[in-house]
Each structure stands twice: as C-alpha cells, then as structure tokens.
Amino acid sequence: MATTNDLKNGLVLKLDGGELWSVVEFQHVKPGKGGAFVRTKLKNVRSGKVVDKTFNAGVKVEVASVDKREMQFSYIDGGDYVFMDTETYDMLNVSRAALGDTVNYLLENMLATIAVNEGEVLYVELPAAVELTISQTEPGLQGDRSTGGTKPATLETGAEIKVPLFITTGEKVKVDTRTGEYLGRA
C-alpha cells in the first residue's frame, strides 16, 4: 500500500477490483479553498485505455508488484514467442496477444523489456528504434508532386511501412517501434 503522495510516472496501481493501471501523469493540486488532491492520467495495462482520475491527498492506493526484466528473443514455438533472461538463462513463453504490435519489429536475438505481474506477462517493450532490412519495395518513380513522396515497403519481419522514394530493396532502415514510422537510413 502507498499513499497518493508516493505516486510517480510508471508506477502500476491495482484499482477497481484488481485492474492494473499505469500512472502516465500526475499532478498535486492545492487549491486556495478546500483540501488538496492529486489529478492523474492512468493507462490500463491490458487494454491500453487512458482515463483521468482524481484522488484526495493522502488516500491509500494499492501498488501492484511488476517485475521488469531485460530478455532476449530466442525463437517461435508454435504460437508462443520464447524469450531468455540474459542473467539467469530462464526461458519465458509469451503469447502473441501479449506482444501486440511489437511483433512487427521483433527479430531473433533482439533485447526487450518484459513486464510480469503474478506470472502473467503484461507487455513487451522494444527499444524506441530498431534497424531492419527492406525485403521488398517497388522502384521509386519521379513524378508531379510538390513535396517528397513515399511508397510502401515490406520489412524483413513482414511488416509494411512507408519509406521515401529513394529507398531500395536490401537497404537497412531505422524504424520507430512505437509508431511504425520510417526514421532514416541505418
């Protein structure tokens, strides 16, 4: 148990009958009249839904124990993705559902941060940007346009992104794992 005075970004709270909520933002407010309160923006760990919630100052909230470990992606076993702890060499099977969109940027031997609560994988976090090879893209054609154009390209993981016209098949590019946007050549 903790009080609202102990809130900080990234802290995971257990609210509303066991639902896990991550603190995205918080602000202590002391109005001129009345008691102080804490205004928070919380994100549901499982669904990703973001809500605003206000707590009175000093109210006790339950903090969930979330174990974050850096693990290395090893291989795919059926529908599960197998990760290895880089320190203890323990293996952890992660379902496709827990990976979400991160599977589009995941390569063998890539390091990822995995958050686990009571044996359940909550989410998998990749580095902000990864370097991937373009496996297929059409040649860029110059034409009438006032700004730089883009074209679709397929990455080595099978994901499709938009790249500038000058990118060719076989080039390594940097991709933002949060948005799926092209960042530049590697």
CB-based burial label for 142 (10 Å; 0-12, 13-18, 19+): exposed
Regarding whether 29 and 72 lie in a shared domain, the answer is: no
CB-based contacts of 114: which residues, under 8 Å, 6+ apart? 68, 69, 70, 71, 83, 92, 94, 121, 123, 124, 125
CA distance between the termini of the chain: 46
Regarding whether 120 and 170 lie in a shared domain, the answer is: no
Regarding whether 84 and 55 lie in a shared domain, the answer is: no
Regarding whether 36 and 52 lie in a shared domain, the answer is: yes
Regarding whether 134 and 107 lie in a shared domain, the answer is: no
The CATH number linked to 31 is 2.30.30.30
At 143 the pLDDT is 61
Q: pTM for this one?
A: 0.73
pLDDT tens profile 69-128: 899 999 988 888 999 998 888 899 988 888 888 888 898 899 999 888 888 888 888 888
Q: Nearest to residue 121, comparing CAs of 38, 54, 45? A: 45
At 6 the pLDDT is 84
The CATH number linked to 76 is 2.40.50.140
Per the structure, how many domains does the chain have? 3
At 12 the pLDDT is 87
pLDDT tens profile 140-177: 666 645 566 788 899 998 889 998 888 888 999 999 98
Range of the domain at 15: 2-63
